[in-house]
Structure 1
Amino acid sequence: MMKSFKNINKIKFPLLLAVVCLFQSCSDFLEQEPGTQTSINEQLSTKQGVLNALNGLYRELEQNVKSEAFTTYADLQGGNLKFAPSVTTSTTTGSVSVPGNIEHIYNFDDLADDSDLASFYTQSYDIINQANLILEFTDGLKDATDSEKNQIKAEALTARAYSHFLLSELYSQNYGFTEDASHKGIVYMTKSITSGIQYPARQTAADTYNFIIADLKDALNIYTDVVLLNGYTYSYFNKNNAKALLARVYLSKKDWKNAFDTANDVITNSGVSLVSSANYIAEWKKPDLPVSEILLEFSIPRNDEGISSGSMAAFFGYSSNSIYGKYVASQDLLSLYETGDIRKELYTNHPLTTLINLQPQTLDYYFTEKFQGNPGYVAFRLSEQYLIRAEAAFELNNTDQAVKDLNIIRARANASTYQNSENLKEAIFLERRKELSFEGFFLFDITRNKKDVSRNDGCVSFSCSLTYPSPKFILPIPRRNINLNTNLQQNESY
């Protein structure tokens, strides 16, 4: 029985969650009575209090990455997803339209005053502040061993790095946007708001990545084998998935040598193996457990009776022709799979009534099998590490290794093996699109490779394409945060 997050709603931890109002807007907290400040010190003065805080951090992180706007963002913007027809009321049944809560980002025209991902921005800095509070109090614990303290700090550092990295992907142009990465990155917070009101400026992209990498290296130096929280171990940060994150960061930075070495370390030493070809589809179809090659899944919470609340199936699931999620695979994606590629079996056709020129027609819609049942958010799995190593090997002129890794993934899928090094870079790019579809990578792969967005099948946007470079590849910082912090510079065009 999954226990990882089941008791979070019962935890009385008001200040850690309530005062985390983002670093620019914490004046109300700082003006509270002294007794309020004391409760933070009391709450975090014991190992159990800190573990409750760490558990709360994971819960908020799970909720943040599992939000509809973020979960669908990279695949929808890139063109892997399209919309299923509506089943809301008899007057609109069969109509295909953009959900209102993502309308602006889908049209590459998000609004700073009312951003579709404003809550993600705020919640990310909430999580970062919680991580900083944990880091600031852990060394002072008198009832925890050194190993326990190190593990707590390692997990908090990884959470801080991960949240900053996700923010950088959404709000900062890719690392290679300028030759020296001197363009604007994000605000990197290494102290909690208990230090006082802060009005920080944005780091450069280069410095942002340096901070992320430093946090991850610091974490990797102190990880232990101590198990801190209840539940499946793959639901929490550990040395293996922290390395997987570091490999992803190096890939985004185009630090090819470190990307290769770190991904290779995960592949060689994690003890995790690729799912076999024979079990690939069955592994994805398991209703309550992730695929066995998972390195980190933010599992969904369950109550005391084991009943789950909220999962990725809310967006991608299919139960019947009247109960299904909003998002299905586009033909842009499906057409890339060869006839014998078993990954095509991950997309199940369900013909649905669709209004075309106000006339009902039955059209085919392909729902993914990756997120049926009670799936959690897949953050890292081993397949990605092989594709990171392949891309890094190509850039290091090690084409033999690049082809080998590419073919490991293709052979597992029963796709034809790649025979030569011609168009190898494009082949790796497309393999990532096929293997990691619906897992939140594609737009970031497009920008890293400085490609254009071209959405065809099912596109109902005013802007179905986007030419690189463009300021619209990233989102506006919410206006509220700009107004609160005069040092926080807005992104171009917003």
Structure 2
Amino acid sequence: MMIKKNIIQLFILCFLFVGCDKFLDKEPQNKVSIDEIFSDLAGAKAALTGVYVAMWETENGPKMIYPEAVGGNVKPLYITLQKYLDVYTFTTAADTSSMAAVYEETYEMLNNLNNIIKRVPELTDGLQTERNDILAQAYGLRALMHLNLVQLFAQPYSYTADASHLGIVLATEPILIADAQRKRATVAEVYTQIASDLKQSADLFTERKAVFTGSNSIYMSSSAIKALQARVSMLKGEWADAYDYSEAVIASNYSLYSSSEYVASWTSAASKETIFEIAVVSPFAGTSLGNYYTNETANTTYQFAPSNDLLEIFQEGDIRASGGAFKYPTYGTAATSVKLIRLSEMYLIRAEAAAELGRSEQALADLNVIRKRANPESENWTNSDKTALIDEILDERRRELCLEGFWFFDLMRRGISLVRSDCEGNNCNINYPSDKFVLPIPLQSVTSNSNMEQNPGY
């Protein structure tokens, strides 16, 4: 038991400090360690915990900052603080990209999730419903990892009529050194895999016994799966499904904060409006999202501030009028959880889907719920013209979801050119479509994999 305990501790520490590709995906030297970890339910729980810990590293920084910086919601302030400046100016290169770590770390997490999915069904201890819970979360997280990668490193679903353009390498089983020469799947194939994993997760969640204690919002859940299904359907332009999935989440056990509660809610975890969030790793004293956005003398990481492009779309009296900078007002040891799915997103997905489906009354109702929460004194939006209504819903998404990693992807899926008026330097404005709208595959991944195709333009 002491050996097993030490291995599990090493497993969790590897996520925090050295990268789990050094621990879980190499054979044969680590095979005994992997077998030992997955010899019982406790080991499987530790493995899944490790994935959540690892997610903090990507979601708590570059994955969230990238769409806000390149989309023009924020702007860099200090020439001496230049992290992610290469992506802001669209001058990133395959060998020096500041987003390369996101690519590498996400595939590490996928490899570990695949070990869980492969080995948990072989366990004999515990209840079947407990094993189902672990698998349900693993399938859901695997879908989310693939979605993150395909949004960052491939053109949007609508880029070609049948989504047959280059996607990413699918990781649906542990990738070993001897079998690492994988081709990129098409975007259509990636989304098919995401949908399959989400369905598998949803089916497993119907009969489960929770293996973790604490707030449900810090783990993948059946509601989070429905929310991701709504998001994926929106990204594909499958509006009937986007409507149905978002409606199912809205009807579940979540509620919007009031106008007076909203700002303070960002300083707390496990809020009533949050469907899925990544909890702060404990103990923690590193760089958090707040480090990039909080203007305090003691914060030496502070780099980005809301752009005038963003600030100008808020009406007077809007509680979000600071441009969303209040969302992560603390940093370091006071860092707060990173919110990945909130109820307000579901209202806006249903609004957009309703507008596309010709259900303007529902679209207006959902849009105004979010508008009025932000400013109870504001007038309802009443223009039901489809184009005007969708444009306003997109603006409301920008206001409500700023600093949450959506805006640039909204531009891409809608085929909208990038215009950044409050911008200095290279490539402030870029017409859609453009090779620059996707990140380069890290050079190491290209040179080590003879089947890997680099994105055009890099």
* Fold match (TM-score > 0.5): yes
Does the residue aligned with 1:379 lie in a helix, a strand or coil? Answer: strand
Does structure 1 conserve the Cα–Cα contact (< 8 Å) formed by 2:76 and 2:85? no
Question: Which residue number in structure 1 is paired with residue 223 of structure 2?
Answer: 240
Question: Which residue number in structure 2 is paired with residue 148 of structure 1?
Answer: 130
2:218 maps to a residue whose letter is S
CA drift of 1:72 comes to 0.9
Question: Which residue number in structure 1 is paired with residue 203 of structure 2?
Answer: 221
Alpha carbons of structure 1 residues 14 and 71: separation in structure 2 relative to 1, 3 Å: closer
Does structure 2 conserve the Cα–Cα contact (< 8 Å) formed by 1:44 and 1:137? yes
Q: Tell me, in whole angstroms, the C-alpha distance in 1 between the residues paired with 2:88 and 2:301.
A: 21
Give the gaps of 5 or more residues in structure 2. Answer: none
2:73 maps to a residue whose letter is N
Question: Which residue number in structure 1 is paired with residue 73 of structure 2?
Answer: 80
Does structure 2 conserve the Cα–Cα contact (< 8 Å) formed by 1:57 and 1:127? yes
Question: Which residue number in structure 2 is paired with residue 443 of structure 1?
Answer: 408
Question: Which residue number in structure 2 is paired with residue 426 of structure 1?
Answer: 391
Alpha carbons of structure 1 residues 129 and 15: separation in structure 2 relative to 1, 3 Å: farther
1:300 is the counterpart of 2:298:
no
Question: Which residue number in structure 2 is paired with residue 12 of structure 1?
Answer: 10
Give the gaps of 5 or more residues in structure 1. Answer: 1-6, 85-95, 348-365
Q: Tell me, in whole angstroms, the C-alpha distance in 1 between the residues paired with 2:295 and 2:6.
A: 29
1:39 maps to a residue whose letter is S
Does structure 2 conserve the Cα–Cα contact (< 8 Å) formed by 1:8 and 1:59? no
Q: Tell me, in whole angstroms, the C-alpha distance in 2 between the residues paired with 1:464 and 1:342.
A: 28
Partner deviation per Cα, 1:337-365 (whole Å, 9 max, x = no partner): 11122222xx2xxxxxxxxxxxxxxxxxx
Question: Which residue number in structure 1 is paired with residue 243 of structure 2?
Answer: 260
1:404 is the counterpart of 2:404:
no
Does structure 2 conserve the Cα–Cα contact (< 8 Å) formed by 1:20 and 1:193? no
RMSD: 2.5
Partner deviation per Cα, 1:247-275 (whole Å, 9 max, x = no partner): 11111111111111000110012x00111
Task: Name which of 369, 372, 387 aligns with 2:329.
Answer: 372
Partner deviation per Cα, 1:37-57 (whole Å, 9 max, x = no partner): 122111111111111111001
CA drift of 1:12 comes to 1.6
Does structure 1 conserve the Cα–Cα contact (< 8 Å) formed by 2:291 and 2:299? no
Q: Tell me, in whole angstroms, the C-alpha distance in 2 between the residues paired with 1:325 and 1:114.
A: 22
2:251 maps to a residue whose letter is T
Does structure 1 conserve the Cα–Cα contact (< 8 Å) formed by 2:82 and 2:303? no
Does the residue aligned with 1:292 lie in a helix, a strand or coil? Answer: coil
Alignment of 1:64-463 (within 5 A): 64-67=58-61, 69-84=62-77, 96-97=78-79, 99-194=81-176, 196-223=178-205, 224=207, 226-269=209-252, 271-284=253-266, 286=267, 288-289=268-269, 291-303=271-283, 309-320=286-297, 325-344=302-321, 347=322, 368-373=325-330, 374-414=335-375, 415-422=378-385, 423-457=388-422, 459-463=423-427
CA drift of 1:109 comes to 2.1
Q: Tell me, in whole angstroms, the C-alpha distance in 1 between the residues paired with 2:339 and 2:293.
A: 14
Does the residue aligned with 2:260 lie in a helix, a strand or coil? Answer: coil
Does structure 2 conserve the Cα–Cα contact (< 8 Å) formed by 1:16 and 1:40? no
CA drift of 1:242 comes to 1.5
Q: Tell me, in whole angstroms, the C-alpha distance in 2 between the residues paired with 1:448 and 1:191.
A: 29
Does the residue aligned with 2:316 lie in a helix, a strand or coil? Answer: coil
Question: Which residue number in structure 2 is paired with residue 4 of structure 1?
Answer: none
Higher strand share: 1
Does structure 2 conserve the Cα–Cα contact (< 8 Å) formed by 1:8 and 1:55? no
Q: Tell me, in whole angstroms, the C-alpha distance in 2 between the residues paired with 1:8 and 1:262.
A: 43
Q: Tell me, in whole angstroms, the C-alpha distance in 2 between the residues paired with 1:9 and 1:391.
A: 48
Q: Tell me, in whole angstroms, the C-alpha distance in 2 between the residues paired with 1:80 and 1:21.
A: 34
Q: Tell me, in whole angstroms, the C-alpha distance in 2 between the residues paired with 1:278 and 1:261.
A: 30
CA drift of 1:101 comes to 3.0
Alpha carbons of structure 1 residues 42 and 107: separation in structure 2 relative to 1, 3 Å: same
Partner deviation per Cα, 1:299-338 (whole Å, 9 max, x = no partner): 11123xxx66543211122344876722211111111111
Question: Which residue number in structure 2 is paired with residue 489 of structure 1?
Answer: 453
1:47 is the counterpart of 2:4:
no
CA drift of 1:107 comes to 1.3
More displaced, 10-19 or 142-151? 10-19
Higher helix share: 2
Q: Tell me, in whole angstroms, the C-alpha distance in 2 between the residues paired with 1:368 and 1:195.
A: 43
Q: Tell me, in whole angstroms, the C-alpha distance in 1 between the residues paired with 2:299 and 2:424.
A: 22
Question: Which residue number in structure 1 is paired with residue 55 of structure 2?
Answer: 61
Does structure 2 conserve the Cα–Cα contact (< 8 Å) formed by 1:16 and 1:53? no
TM-score (norm 2): 0.91
Does structure 2 conserve the Cα–Cα contact (< 8 Å) formed by 1:46 and 1:143? yes
Tell me how many residue pairs correspond in the alignment.
442
Alpha carbons of structure 1 residues 101 and 11: separation in structure 2 relative to 1, 3 Å: same
Q: Tell me, in whole angstroms, the C-alpha distance in 1 between the residues paired with 2:274 and 2:94.
A: 36
Partner deviation per Cα, 1:133-188 (whole Å, 9 max, x = no partner): 00111011111211001000010001111010000000110000111111111111
1:199 maps to a residue whose letter is Q
Does the residue aligned with 2:416 lie in a helix, a strand or coil? Answer: coil
Q: Tell me, in whole angstroms, the C-alpha distance in 2 between the residues paired with 1:98 and 1:259.
A: 43
More displaced, 216-225 or 98-107? 98-107
Does the residue aligned with 1:161 lie in a helix, a strand or coil? Answer: helix
CA drift of 1:470 comes to 0.3
More displaced, 183-192 or 10-19? 10-19
Q: Tell me, in whole angstroms, the C-alpha distance in 1 between the residues paired with 2:13 and 2:403.
A: 36
